[in-house]
Chains A and B, each alone.
Chain A
Amino acid sequence: MIRMKSPRGRRLVVTGVMVVGGGALALGALAGGQPLLAAMLAVLIAGFAAITYRWSGGGGDVAALLRSSGDERQRMIDMRSTAFAGVATILFCLGGGVVDLARGGTGNPWTLICAVSGVAYALALGILRRRA
């Protein structure tokens, strides 16, 4: 029996995640005594969320992924893009750690992020290779 996921998806999922994440950042700024920054973050996130919601109503590959409803090719693109973003982030953190160590610092939090990435990758590898 052939089973494939329906292309219909949830348009609000990515927008909701963005609002919750951005809202948490804004609340953090507010709790840290930076109301102006909190307000700026809230406005910025609201703008991005509105753009995301509008874009997710379209018919292209990105719109389908923003609705969390991509087909197998779109999910492959999403997975490769996520992996690329992960590698870019790790390289950025590695660079940050090297610069911080060269300046006499401890390398934190850059090296800590690199370590978390490495452990997460090893864990994912261990779990996913059993499933595939």
Chain B
Amino acid sequence: MTSKLYIVKNVVRELRTAGGLSQAGLGGALGVSRQTINAIEAGRYLPSLPLAMALARYFDTTVEQVFSCEDGEKS
């Protein structure tokens, strides 16, 4: 049996550095820790929908622009 495997990538690091923000600064603005921003940027943690939306709103863009999903198959 095969199941869908979703690989989610994001451009949070690029958006943050373009805005001259630190991880702690972005975390403070969103109400999360620096470690959580770091984990999101590194792809170790998938944020909840509210946090993903908050991130997108903070950078004045859409969730789809921040997060992209690639389909794969896992057997």
A residues apposed to B, CB below 8 Å: 2-7, 59-61, 64, 70-74
Contact of B50 among A4, A59, A60, A74 (CB under 8 A): A4
Contact of A2 among B36, B39, B54 (CB under 8 A): B54
Which residues from chain B contact A59 at a C-beta distance below 8 Å? 33-34
Indicate if the CB atoms of B45 and A73 lie closer than 8 Å: yes
Q: Flag whether B32 is at the interface (Cβ < 8 A).
A: yes
Tell me the smallest distance from the CB of B60 to a CB of chain A, in Å.
15
Contact of A4 among B34, B45, B51 (CB under 8 A): B51
Bound CA–CA A6/B33 (angstroms): 10
Q: Is the interface of B mostly helix, strand, loop or mixed?
A: helix
Indicate if the CB atoms of B50 and A3 lie closer than 8 Å: yes
Indicate if the CB atoms of A73 and B32 lie closer than 8 Å: yes
Task: Count B interface residues, CB 8 Å.
Answer: 16
Against A, the Cβ 8 Å flags (1 = close, 0 = not) of B19-52 are 0000000000011111110010000010110110
Which residues from chain A contact B50 at a C-beta distance below 8 Å? 2-4
Indicate if the CB atoms of B33 and A2 lie closer than 8 Å: no
Indicate if the CB atoms of B53 and A71 lie closer than 8 Å: no
Which residues from chain A contact B36 at a C-beta distance below 8 Å? 71-74
Indicate if the CB atoms of B35 and A72 lie closer than 8 Å: no
Given contacts A72-B47, A72-B51, A73-B45, contact A5 B35 (CB under 8 A): no
Bound CA–CA A59/B57 (angstroms): 26
CB-CB nearest 3 A-B residue pairs: A71-B32, A73-B36, A4-B31
Indicate if the CB atoms of A2 and B53 lie closer than 8 Å: yes
Bound CA–CA A74/B53 (angstroms): 19
Bound CA–CA A2/B48 (angstroms): 11
Which residues from chain A contact B57 at a C-beta distance below 8 Å? 2
Bound CA–CA A3/B36 (angstroms): 17
